[in-house]
Amino acid sequence: DSGVTQTPKHLITATGQRVTLRCSPRSGDLSVYWYQQSLDQGLQFLIQYYNGEERAKGNILERFSAQQFPDLHSELNLSSLELGDSALYFCASSVTEWGGGYTFGSGTRLTVV
Amino acid sequence: GNSVTQMEGPVTLSEEAFLTINCTYTATGYPSLFWYVQYPGEGLQLLLKATKADDKGSNKGFEATYRKETTSFHLEKGSVQVSDSAVYFCALSMNAGNNRKLIWGLGTSLAVNP
């Protein structure tokens, strides 16, 4: 157990739907990062939050949004889902606002049918 | 911009063989370098890191040396085991400035046969 908790582990939904992925960071970590991992795109950074504020944005679609709450957990919202959104979505956390040494969760596997 | 290039996989080795996975980087400035490992069905785990030139990171028999002159951070292990079968990611992070997020390589899949 890495200390980063992601729920749900698996999600199957239909095109056009909206889902919410949840991440609880490791105790004491203030930064949360969201990544998408697919076979054709590899590991793609989506967005980072630090202590409730957005810090960096990567290749995140406009249909996707995220936030970090006062208790530091984070949610990634995916809407108007398309088949191509099927992927593994990872959350990672770190103590500092930047840099490596992340701790990753075990991911949410999203399948859009 | 900053980037990481890894050798393409898959890499297939027999148990006890020597492993090298090449990683080179491009960066304006002085990054920290990382290797992460992803075992089947799991998230990524930090394997080792080096924060300045000539540093050697090591963990679980794996080593990588930060070579500024060749902008490389190749991952090596003297004798691989079946349990080392995984995907290995090289990454960098800048140590200063406003954009310090990790920059990832595409990953190299390693399969070790008994």
* Chain B residues within an 8 Å CB radius of A2: 43, 45
* Predicted local confidence at residue A76, as pLDDT: 98
Q: Is B2 at the interface with chain A, CB within 8 A?
A: no
* pLDDT, tens digit (0-9, with 9 covering 90-100), for A2-45: 799 999 999 999 999 999 999 999 999 999 999 999 877 778 88
* Predicted local confidence at residue B100, as pLDDT: 59
* pLDDT, tens digit (0-9, with 9 covering 90-100), for B1-42: 888 999 888 999 999 999 999 999 999 888 899 999 999 878
Cβ–Cβ gap A101/B44 under 8 Å: no
Cβ–Cβ gap A98/B107 under 8 Å: no
* Chain B residues within an 8 Å CB radius of A32: none
Q: What one-character DSSP code corresponds to residue A63?
A: T
* pLDDT, tens digit (0-9, with 9 covering 90-100), for B58-103: 999 999 999 999 999 999 999 999 999 999 999 988 765 555 577 8
Torsion of CA B60, B39, A81, A23, to 10 degrees: -50
**For the ranges A31-40, A69-78, A93-102, B88-97, which has the lowest average pLDDT?**
A93-102
Confidence of residue A89 (pLDDT cuts 50, 70, 90): very high
Cβ–Cβ gap B101/A48 under 8 Å: yes
DSSP string, B9-74: S-EEEETT--EEE-EEEE-SS-EEEEEEEE-TTS-EEEEEEE-STT-EEEETTEEEE-BTTTTB--
Nearest-Cα distance to chain A for B45, in Å, is 6
Cβ–Cβ gap B46/A107 under 8 Å: no
The three-class DSSP label of residue A28 is coil
